[in-house]
Structure 1
Amino acid sequence: MVDCLSKVMLHTVISCWQSVLGLALLAVFVGSSLGCPSRCECSAQTKAVVCHRKRMPTIPDGIPGETRILDLSKNKLTMINPDDFGAFPSLEELDLSGNIISYVEPGAFNALFVMHSLSLKSNRIKLIPLGVFSGLANLTRLDVSDNKIVILLDYMFQDLHNLKFLEVGDNDLVYISHRAFSGLLSLETLALERCNLTVVPSEALSHLHNLVSLHLRYLSISTLHPYSFKKLFRLRHLEIDNWPSLDHIPANTLHGLNLTTLSVTNTNLSSFPYQALKHLPYLTHLNLSYNRIRHIEGGMLMDLVRLREFHLVGAQLTAIEPYAFQGLRGLKVLNVSHNRLDTLEKGVFQSPEALEVLLIDNNPLVCDCRLMWILQKRHTILFGDSQPECNTPEGIRGRPFQEFKESLLSYYVTCTKPKIRENKTQTVTVDEGQHVLLHCSAEGTPRPTVSWVSPRRRILTARSHGRVMVHNNGTLEIKSAEIQDGGVYLCLASNTAGNDTLMTSLAVKSLGSLYANRTQHYTDPSNTTANGTASVTIGLDLKTILVSTAMGCFTFLGMVLFCFLLLFVWSRGKGKHKNNIDVEYVPRSKSNGTNVDSADIQAGPHRFNMKMM
């Protein structure tokens, strides 16, 4: 009994002392000098003072010196002066967001050596001078977004050696100095959004050697230059979002990066950036949603060997070609919802059995034999919250995949071989320079794709452009036919079930002569057959005649000019030479021997005079 009473009394004494100590701590924190500021809320346990939305024009009096967390957001503060917070050396978090601060004096946070979070968000700051952040050697998070800042000066963050997160978006930024981020040795996450930058600040970013995540949102940048993100060797996550003017990503833009996550969304890209992605072998997550990418070609993504998730939502996608994901053995999540796909064939994937999540809803899907593999896996694959539905055939329109019965698959999910309506070889004759239309329409399930093979074995498809092109309905158009366009064209209609062909012969008549169909012929007599008929004829049209005449005229004029030149040279030399020439000679002996007649020797050489005319 005595022991019980002793324990009760001991417990009571301990409780009393705890209460006394708690009151003492509260007195030290709250009531040591002026107590908790009027209209603010204070917590002795967390040493926090919250003066949120109190319409205070200045920093209130009575804030305990031991305060660690100070919230002055949504008030009427207009300026931060040096040593405004000098009495709070233990301050760790300071929130000044939502005020009307227009200027922060250098040295305003000099004494806050242990502070790790500072928010100046949603104020009216236009310029942050050098020295504002001096003394904040242990700051890890800084938010200066949603102000009126126009320029980031060189070395303005140089004292923030331990800063890890920086928010500078929602400003009027037009320029970031090349050394603005110098000194941010530990920065891991940077957000630049909703500002007036027109180019990526590549030089400034190159100082962030430990940057891991870079978020570039809502910018008016229209061009990405090669090596835009140079020296960011540790960058792993890059987000480019809402750049409405961006329509192309050059091949070397991302060169040198070791990204694992890349997101390029809500831009004006009209083609898949195959070459830009070629140097990203460590990429695991790719998001190209809400662009204007219509096709994914086969065999172009083989370098992305570690890709696990691919998102291409709302991109006007109409076709994913066979072998498009060749090499992507680890692809587990594919999201191509809200596009214009009518099918997704099994041959698209390197390892279709590895696919775990397939989001293909809100597409005009044609449920034929090409989708049979998906319907057979419908119980083991995840389709997300919205089930894909058949758009055709009519009997199963609007039916979700999960509700299909096995007995319906063999009845509705079928394919039929293409059949070209024109089943006879056609012959088309046109004049040179005319438009040519070669028709080839085919029926089948799924709808056959039509391509043409030219007489020179060139394959022409609906993506061929230029003077010769194939329309979506299968018609081959040749603009301004030329002689070399003549020959036999082969139309090939194909789908999953097979193919059908049709040949069309095209003859192009020449209109080179001035008189249509009145071509003169020259027969080479040296090239005749045994019966005397010439085997080679050379057409002489107007062009040939004109060229020949011009060559003859040039030759004649050249000869005349040469004669005039000789006459000129002769006339310049007239009168400068002698008209008479004396010639001496010794006559030969009349005998056949070697002896010369002595009379001739004595007479000496003979002479005669010749006059030059």
Structure 2
Amino acid sequence: MSFQSLHRREPDSAKTSLTMDMDKSYHGCDQNLDLKKAYCSNKGLKTVPQNLSGDTKVLDLSYNIITKLLNSSFKVYPLINSLDISFNDIRVIESAAFYPLKGLMNLSLFYNQRIVLPATSVFMMSSQLSFLDLTETNLTSLPNDTLKWSPHLDTVILFRNRLSSINVSSCGMHANIVIMTSNQLKHLTAEYFTFVCHTDILDLRDNPIQSVDPDVIASLHVRFLNLGACRLSDEVLANIILGISKSDIEGVTIQQGSVGAFPEGFFDPLNPFLSFFPPAIFRQLSVLQELNLEYCAITNLHPLVFSGLESLQKLSLEGNNIQHIHDDALSGLGQINSINFKGNQIEYLGELMFSNKWKVTNLSLADNKLTHLNRRTFKPIFSSISLLDISMNPIDCNCDLKWLIDWINKPIRTLIDKDKTICSSESLERFREKPLLDVDPNELCIINGLLFLIPLASIGLVVISVLLYHYRWQLRYKLFLLKLAAVGYKEMRDARDHNEYEFDVNIIFYDDDEEWIREQLRPALEERLPQFQRNVCGDDDLVLGMHYLDSVDYVVSHSYKTIIVLSRAAVQDRWFILKFRTAMDHVSDTLTEFVVVVFLEDIPDDEMPFLARLYLNDGRPYIHWTEDMRGQEYFWDELTKTLTINLRTNDLIPNE
């Protein structure tokens, strides 16, 4: 069958009319011929423009008034791999509209509220499709073969539609995540729900589920299943658990409401199953690895509630009303490594709560009512904990907390939300409303102890001793500077140059900052460092054929220099922070300062991510962009100098 034969035959009059419509559409788009990108957003377009560059790979048609995607709409752009048609008014998609786009990888139809998909084969030629967004398209049905033709499909978003049934019995993909949140799915039964795709995460939250067939749950080929947000009945919950027990599902989230969605105690009289879980309710889920019971209005935990969860690694009970945890409640969780009790009403922890929990690495007790923390309670997890969150608790800071402060100050430990971990008003006077990490119990506790043991004549000596101890690190720092001034310091340079690497410069930035990269950074590099020809600029230049994070890791490790561009928008993006972490990890592994951070703007302290704080605290190289012309000249000179050499890391020189 020829390509032309796949198009629906139009009457000559209709064909002429459509051609005239397209000819009249002057696009007025912005094109980057080097990057093969066309930006047609918010141009008032009624049809797909036909006079763009034929080798366009990225086409943005968002925020227009396009109503139809014809079989001929993209025929002149066969190389498109990323297409954004969000926020239009598309009502008709002809069956072969996307056939010319055989290399299409990313497609967004977000917020086209009158779409009707063709009954079949709409993505038949899209074998490279990896991202499909159909959010808020008002879909009432999903053609059976929608996910059949794209074996590389990674993410499918069907958020906020009107789907009341799913019949996907043919699937050619193994997706990372499929989101069906906020639809009208009422019955997870064989008649209304068939989904054969293999996927890591299937998100069915915020659907008014009224009945569940355990065999349907058992037939799902998913690793993690998310349910809830709309209230689930006891029978539905029981059938979900029974279905999971028959499956290979590793993690499940059962959420009985989002934050602030229901008043306190709303579920208590309606659903005793949730407010008090019966013992061994999860006994059949011996292979389950992750269990989230967030915002379920749970008030009590039976000592045997988690018995049988032999493989469980992550447990989250965030946002409930738990006041007390029995010592034996976690006793059967031998493989547990992450526990989250954030946002409950816990007032104290038993001494045996973490007995035999040698593998716990992440623990959150934030936003509870803890006033005292017993050393014996935490002793079993002293050596394993790496991430701890005890913020937003009314902690009574006194001399008895010296062990806690010493423990969380260990280098292998990270305290989450340090600024919100403060001493309560009931603490010793000098500690009140003070961040816990700023408290030095020795400063007051030792004095208070000695006041009862030594005569008043020796108080002055004790005060001097305490001050010297308190400022010992500052004194050592001054002595180090004195030694540095006398002896001098020789920079240790990496002997390798940029020609020994696969790439010269790798630039990591957030999409919103691409204009600055294009208009400022790239022209400056071409002018000042013409010898740097093998540059990687953002995600578009990553190595094809590799997993996204693997490709990021590969480029970072094979680049002579990596520039990380920080802005307020960038630090809010999870994927950007993951790439930042990858670069920092390679600095630690290679002991080479090959990373330089560029701050495009001032970032408030409360928005500065932990990774950026850690980078600055370690004295790593960074430069701040300015709008001042003289300041910009200094900026480019400093950046050019930094990019031409790689120094070896030297952590012996402390920061002021």
Residue pair 1:366, 1:393 contacting (<8 A) in 2 also: no
Structure 2 distance, partners of 1:368, 1:113, is: 61
**What is the aligned partner in structure 1 of residue 51 from structure 2?**
62
Q: How does 1:312-323 map to 2 (within 5 A)?
A: 312-323=317-328
Spell out, residue by residue over 1:403-440, the C-alpha distance to the aligned partner (whole angstroms, 9 max, x if none).
Answer: 5959989x9xxxxxxxxxxxxxxxxxxxxxxxxxxxxx
**What is the aligned partner in structure 1 of residue 93 from structure 2?**
104
* TM-score for the superposition, normalised by structure 2: 0.50
1:127 aligns with 2:116: yes
Quick check: which one's helix share is greater?
Answer: 2
Structure 1 distance, partners of 2:440, 2:278, is: 37
1:144 aligns with 2:134: yes
Structure 2 distance, partners of 1:340, 1:207, is: 40
Residue pair 2:302, 2:329 contacting (<8 A) in 1 also: yes
Residue pair 1:95, 1:119 contacting (<8 A) in 2 also: yes
Structure 2 distance, partners of 1:38, 1:76, is: 13
Residue pair 1:42, 1:48 contacting (<8 A) in 2 also: yes
Residue pair 2:50, 2:73 contacting (<8 A) in 1 also: no
2:200 counterpart (212, 227, 232): 212
Q: How does 1:439-518 map to 2 (within 5 A)?
A: none
Residue pair 2:81, 2:105 contacting (<8 A) in 1 also: yes
* Deviation (angstroms), 1:346: 2.5
Local SS of the residue matching 2:242: coil
1:384 counterpart (395, 410, 416): 416
- Judged with a 3 Å threshold, the aligned counterparts in structure 2 of structure 1 residues 104 and 263 are, in CA distance, closer, same or farther, namely same
Residue pair 2:169, 2:196 contacting (<8 A) in 1 also: yes
* Deviation (angstroms), 1:249: 1.6
- Judged with a 3 Å threshold, the aligned counterparts in structure 2 of structure 1 residues 113 and 134 are, in CA distance, closer, same or farther, namely same
Structure 2 distance, partners of 1:160, 1:187, is: 10
Number of aligned residues: 373
Q: Report the residue type matching 2:324 in the other structure.
A: A
Structure 2 distance, partners of 1:258, 1:404, is: 50
**What is the aligned partner in structure 1 of residue 42 from structure 2?**
53
1:118 aligns with 2:107: yes
Q: Report the residue type matching 2:124 in the other structure.
A: S
Local SS of the residue matching 1:240: strand
* Deviation (angstroms), 1:327: 3.0
**What is the aligned partner in structure 2 of residue 244 from structure 1?**
231
Local SS of the residue matching 2:178: strand
- Judged with a 3 Å threshold, the aligned counterparts in structure 2 of structure 1 residues 151 and 201 are, in CA distance, closer, same or farther, namely farther
**What is the aligned partner in structure 1 of residue 153 from structure 2?**
163
CA radius of gyration, larger in? 1
Q: Report the residue type matching 1:119 in the other structure.
A: S
Identical columns (%)? 23
- Of 378-387 and 108-117, deviating more is 378-387
Structure 2 distance, partners of 1:276, 1:66, is: 59
Runs (5+) with no aligned partner, structure 1: 1-33, 412-613
Spell out, residue by residue over 1:122-158, the C-alpha distance to the aligned partner (whole angstroms, 9 max, x if none).
Answer: 1023432223333223322222221121122433444
**What is the aligned partner in structure 2 of residue 324 from structure 1?**
329
Structure 1 distance, partners of 2:187, 2:440, is: 52
Runs (5+) with no aligned partner, structure 2: 1-22, 258-266, 268-273, 380-400, 409-413, 449-656
2:254 counterpart (244, 264, 267): 264
Q: Report the residue type matching 1:387 in the other structure.
A: T
Structure 2 distance, partners of 1:282, 1:324, is: 19
Structure 1 distance, partners of 2:188, 2:290, is: 23
**What is the aligned partner in structure 2 of residue 345 from structure 1?**
350
Structure 2 distance, partners of 1:340, 1:287, is: 18
Spell out, residue by residue over 1:273-303, the C-alpha distance to the aligned partner (whole angstroms, 9 max, x if none).
Answer: 8656434444444322211111222233243
1:85 counterpart (68, 74, 83): 74
Q: Report the residue type matching 2:36 in the other structure.
A: K
Local SS of the residue matching 1:217: coil
Structure 2 distance, partners of 1:165, 1:368, is: 43
Local SS of the residue matching 1:299: coil
Q: Report the residue type matching 1:226 in the other structure.
A: P
* TM-score for the superposition, normalised by structure 1: 0.53
1:154 aligns with 2:144: yes
Structure 1 distance, partners of 2:242, 2:93, is: 41
* Deviation (angstroms), 1:230: 2.4
- Of 94-103 and 343-352, deviating more is 343-352
Structure 2 distance, partners of 1:273, 1:70, is: 55
Structure 1 distance, partners of 2:349, 2:181, is: 36
Residue pair 1:137, 1:160 contacting (<8 A) in 2 also: yes
Residue pair 2:65, 2:89 contacting (<8 A) in 1 also: yes
Residue pair 1:249, 1:273 contacting (<8 A) in 2 also: no
- Judged with a 3 Å threshold, the aligned counterparts in structure 2 of structure 1 residues 241 and 383 are, in CA distance, closer, same or farther, namely farther
